[in-house]
Amino acid sequence: MSILVTGGAGYIGSHTCVSLLKAGFDIVVLDNLCNSKGSAVKYIKEITGKDFTFYRYDLRDIESVQSVFEKETIEAVIHLAGYKAVGESVRKPLMYYENNILGTLNLLKCMRERNVKKLIFSSSATVYTGALGKAPFQALTEESPLAVTNPYGRTKLMIEEILSDLYQSDPEWNIISLRYFNPIGAHESGLLGDDPNGIPNNLMPYIVQVAAGKLEKLNVFGDDYDTKDGTGVRDYIHVTDLADGHVAALKKLKNFSGIFTVYNLGTGRGYSVLEIIKTFSKINGIEIPYVIAPRREGDVDMCFADPSKAERELGWKATRNLEDMCRDSWNFQKTVLQID
Ligand code: NAD
Ligand code: WQD
């Protein structure tokens, strides 16, 4: 029996594959490599010393997804495949709805056909951010109000609603939606990490490219937020901790007999942009030139998790600190530079 990992060659998926293999699970990976490289699959095998089948298939093509379920004995699915860039989703909403929603519907249909009813879905803290700012900020629990402000976020919330409807219609399904906060960091080997194409949208990939001399300076988006130093505060979580959260969720899923539930995966701590720059510089010995720039549209002051439900029910807790995250992010970038 295998765990099917969609999007398993991607940033979070590749780390999740490593955690699953290390925990003794057999896996099958499906990814169309639209935002990742085949070399990630090679590195997952190298790091773990284990083999698995990789299908370079697209979830939008239901026949190829069906063929995976025909060839393999799938016990549960971890579904990470999808597009994830907020700004791009505003410019290309149909592309996002097609990939994220249609891709998920195809997967769910194939699962139902084969009676595979265990699923872990990659959701996001973005499902909360549209509701923030109306009341004083409190750490986000799974019961916090939900609201989204862009097509990407809407795909995540819609998929959670689809999954909830599916469970209502057939309580034999066991579904966990994991709401990730801000994953950064990389595998300690330096072989797996976040390597976006073009100019990065997210903070840590941008910082590492400034450190590498590929970009001149960081634009800090706003210093007049209602936070400790005026810059935005987020809950950064090491991608390996996040990956381990999937293993904890999978173990829990095996014991359920019918459930749809959600967990926040974050550390419960918020760091500001300036704190990230400072820690990165200190741990890696590299100055990061930056300028204060206008606020970025759609950003909120603060966003961090109350991760206690995951600790209580999954026995999972993030263990790596911000220094680990900054060191590993840079270590990965250095490896990429050597390979490129
Ligand atoms: P990523 O782009 O590195 O990984 C996604 C993978 O899915 C890629 O390898 C891509 O090639 C693949 N993919 C996309 N569409 C596909 C399709 N139609 N068929 C097959 N493969 C397809 O992104 P990531 O950061 O690893 O994110 C993984 C998941 O986690 C996504 O669903 C994302 O929305 C979610 N998420 C990410 C973050 C974050 O900050 N990185 C935060 C919250 C949630
Ligand atoms: C973090 C902080 C910026 C870049 C995004 C998605 C969210 C989720 C995680 C998928 C903010 C500041 C950033 C820069 C900066 N992804 N910043 N200069 O916006 O919290 O979350 O990724 O689900 O949905 O929205 O992450 O890394 O973009 O920004 O000052 O060049 O860094 O303003 O305060 P964000 P981020």
Give the pTM: 0.98
Average pLDDT for residues 176-187, to the nearest whole number? 98
Among the listed residues 9, 1, 21, 65, the one whose alpha carbon sits nearest the alpha carbon of residue 246: 21
* CA-221 nearest atom, ligand 2: 30
CA of 34 to the centre of ligand 1 (A): 9
Residue range 86-121, pLDDT digits in tens: 999 999 999 999 999 999 999 999 999 999 999 999
- Joined tokens for residue 101: 């929603």
User: Which of 273, 280, 295 for a ligand 2 pocket mutation test, highest count of atoms within 8 Å of Cβ?
Assistant: 273
CA of 7 to the centre of ligand 1 (A): 6
Instruction: For the chain, list the domains and their CATH numbers.
Output: 2-339 (3.40.50.720)
Residue 319 clears pLDDT 70, i.e. is over it:
yes
CA of 159 to the centre of ligand 1 (A): 14
DSSP codes joined into one string, 232-301: -EE-EEEHHHHHHHHHHHHHHHHH-SSEEEEEEES-S--EEHHHHHHHHHHHHT----EEEEPPPTT--S
Whole-number pLDDT of residue 333: 95
Whole-number pLDDT of residue 1: 86
Residue 224 clears pLDDT 60, i.e. is over it:
yes
User: How many Cβ atoms sit within 10 Å of the Cβ of residue 22?
Assistant: 15
Residue 47 clears pLDDT 90, i.e. is over it:
yes
Residue range 66-89, pLDDT digits in tens: 999 999 999 999 999 999 999 999
Give the lowest-confidence range in 45-54, 62-71, 141-150, 194-203: 194-203
* CA-273 nearest atom, ligand 2: 32
Pocket of ligand 1 (CB under 6 A): 7, 9-13, 31-36, 58-60, 80-82, 84, 99, 103, 122, 124, 180, 182-183
Average pLDDT for residues 276-302, to the nearest whole number? 97
Whole-number pLDDT of residue 339: 57
Residue pair 236/267 in contact (Cβ under 8 Å)? The answer is: yes
Q: What is the mean pLDDT of the chain?
A: 97
